[in-house]
């Protein structure tokens, strides 16, 4: 890495000082000027999502891969173009930032945006380590910016109906939840290390705050999710979609214990099949809850063969009076005979105008989003803790969420706390 100059030091450690931008209140006819970091893959979807909102304006595009940047610029020729997000944050007319980079650079981009006074939309999970997630959550609160995590299903209608059902007591008090995902990461081979770096990719910027390592062709653009150093596989990629429903319906936040109970961690690549058990404390009149996560070949034992085939991914609430299955688009109460003729409770949760539109509206007019960081922060920490338990050899974590410490397990700190190379800091 090049020697750190005073200017680059300010960029990486004191963005609020270097860029004293203060968020402004937009007039009724003013559009929200948005800078998008990461413009391909999920970034391309988010770029199109925010651009489709008529009150938005794509003012800047940023990507470490020149071919991605060039392709996006054809759709938005008036937008300023950058390879380095820190340079983008110097653009004074930006009101908000969308971050769709790999997980290991979410925090450095997001905290920088928040410190500089910009509203932030960030892909899930919010970051790569627990301390990074907490830094984002605290920065959003401190700087009073509008935030939204990119778990788009949170804005769907079916989730709203399930939350209403669970909260209405239709299945009684819930004591256990099973959550499983059909996607599978980690099932790729490894090419030789120190492979040629693609000419359009600025690999040093792609690594961002991580220590340098030889390039593998699997790292970029998509398969970084298969590696612990950059992502967290199925657990980190899908928890914020499926476990979101349990967190929302049951008012869950920080777990008491986290225990990975299946699968063996490899040094580099993520694990294909995992089972992780979480316990949550009582919340008011609600009883303690056990939540079990499954991926790969792992599935809840309570599922029948027919249910396994029907519900490839999903959530199962076990209550005192019955059970509730759900996926993204549908739900089912069982036993079906018991709930024959059942009338669902009144709709009390308003429909969303759309995940991206909701964020743009709140940025312009004030208010909160459904998956703002006060909600999405605790949700994002949970899969990362499951990964810590797994990578330490499937050990049980007794979690102190306030200090971000696993009690009696100092060896967990290296996975809980981010470690950045010289010249980078939150």
Do 331 and 158 touch, CB atoms closer than 8 A? yes
Rounded to 5 degrees, φ, ψ at 244 are -50, -40
Which value, to the nearest 10 degrees, does the dihedral of the CA atoms of residues 143, 147, 149, 154 take? 140
Alpha carbon distances (Å) from 66 to 205, 213, 216, 283, 308: 12, 21, 19, 49, 43
Q: Exposure pattern of 294-309 as b/e (b: 16+ CB <10 Å)? A: bbbebbbeebeeebee
Q: What is the pLDDT of residue 411?
A: 98
- Residue 25: its pLDDT value, please? 61
Which tokens in the block code for residue 9? 């030091």
Go through the chain and tell me how many residues it has. 426
The β-bridge relationship of strands 32-37 and 56-62 is: parallel
CA distance 94 to 209: 24
User: Alpha-carbon distance 289 to 354, whole Å?
Assistant: 30
* C-alpha 422 chain-centroid distance: 26
pLDDT of residue 203: 98
Asked if 360 and 50 count as a contact pair (C-beta separation under 8 A), the reply is yes
Angle between helix 66-75 and 42-51 (nearest 10)? 20
How far apart, in whole angstroms, are the C-alpha atoms of residue 8 and residue 16? 13
Residues whose CB falls within 8 Å of the CB of residue 372, separated by 6 or more in sequence, listed in order: 140, 146, 147, 148, 149
Give me the tens of pLDDT residue by residue for the chain, a chain 426 residues long. 333 333 443 444 444 434 444 456 666 678 999 999 999 999 999 999 999 999 999 999 999 999 999 999 999 999 999 999 999 999 999 999 999 999 999 999 999 999 999 999 999 999 999 999 999 999 999 999 999 999 999 999 999 999 999 999 999 999 999 999 999 999 998 888 889 999 999 999 999 999 999 999 999 988 999 999 999 999 999 999 999 999 999 999 999 999 999 999 999 999 999 999 999 999 999 999 999 999 999 999 999 999 998 999 999 999 999 999 999 999 999 999 999 999 999 999 999 999 999 999 999 999 999 999 999 999 999 999 999 999 999 999 999 999 999 999 999 999 999 999 999 999
**Domains located in the chain, CATH noted:** 6-153+361-376 (3.40.50.720), 156-187+227-351+381-416 (3.30.360)
**Tokens 């008011």, located at residue:** 284
């Amino acid at each position: 890495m090049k020697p750190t100059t005073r200017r680059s030091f300010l960029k990486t450690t004191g963005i609020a000082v270097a860029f004293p931008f203060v968020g402004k209140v937009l007039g009724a006819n003013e559009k929200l000027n948005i800078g998008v970091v990461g413009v391909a893959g999920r970034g391309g979807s988010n770029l199109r999502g925010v651009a489709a909102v008529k009150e938005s304006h794509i003012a800047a595009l940023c990507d470490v891969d020149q071919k991605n940047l060039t392709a996006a610029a054809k759709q938005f020729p008036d937008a300023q173009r950058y390879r380095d997000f820190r340079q983008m944050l110097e653009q004074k007319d930006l009101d908000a930032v969308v971050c769709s980079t790999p997980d290991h650079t979410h925090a450095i981009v997001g905290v920088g945006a928040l410190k500089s006074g910009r509203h932030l939309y960030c892909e899930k999970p919010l970051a790569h380590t627990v301390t990074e997630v907490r830094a984002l959550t605290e920065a959003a609160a401190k700087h009073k910016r509008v935030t939204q995590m990119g778990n788009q299903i949170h804005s769907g209608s079916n989730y709203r109906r399930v939350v209403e059902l669970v909260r209405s007591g239709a299945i009684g008090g819930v004591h256990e939840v099973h959550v499983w995902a059909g996607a599978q990461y980690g099932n790729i081979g490894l090419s030789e290390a120190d492979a040629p770096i693609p000419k359009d990719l600025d690999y040093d910027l792609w690594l961002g705050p991580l220590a340098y390592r030889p390039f593998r062709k699997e790292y970029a653009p998509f398969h970084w999710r298969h590696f612990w150093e950059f992502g967290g596989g199925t657990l980190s990629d899908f928890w914020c979609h499926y476990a979101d429903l349990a967190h929302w319906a049951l008012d869950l936040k920080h777990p008491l214990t986290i225990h990975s109970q299946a699968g063996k961690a490899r040094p580099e690549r993520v694990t294909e099949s995992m089972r992780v058990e979480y316990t949550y404390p009582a919340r008011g009149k609600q009883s303690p809850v056990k939540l079990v996560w499954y991926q790969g070949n792992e599935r809840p034992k309570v599922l029948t063969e027919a249910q396994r085939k029907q519900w490839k991914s999903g959530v199962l609430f076990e209550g005192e009076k019955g059970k509730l299955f759900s996926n993204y688009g549908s739900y089912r109460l069982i036993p079906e005979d018991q709930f024959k003729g059942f009338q669902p409770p009144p709709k009390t949760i308003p429909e969303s105008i759309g995940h991206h539109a909701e964020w743009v509206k709140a940025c312009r007019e004030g208010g909160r989003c459904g998956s703002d960081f006060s909600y999405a922060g605790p949700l994002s920490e949970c899969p990362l803790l499951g990964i810590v338990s797994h990578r330490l050899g499937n050990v049980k974590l007794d979690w102190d969420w306030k200090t971000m410490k696993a009690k009696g397990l100092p060896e967990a700190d290296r996975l809980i706390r981010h470690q950045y190379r010289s010249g980078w800091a939150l």
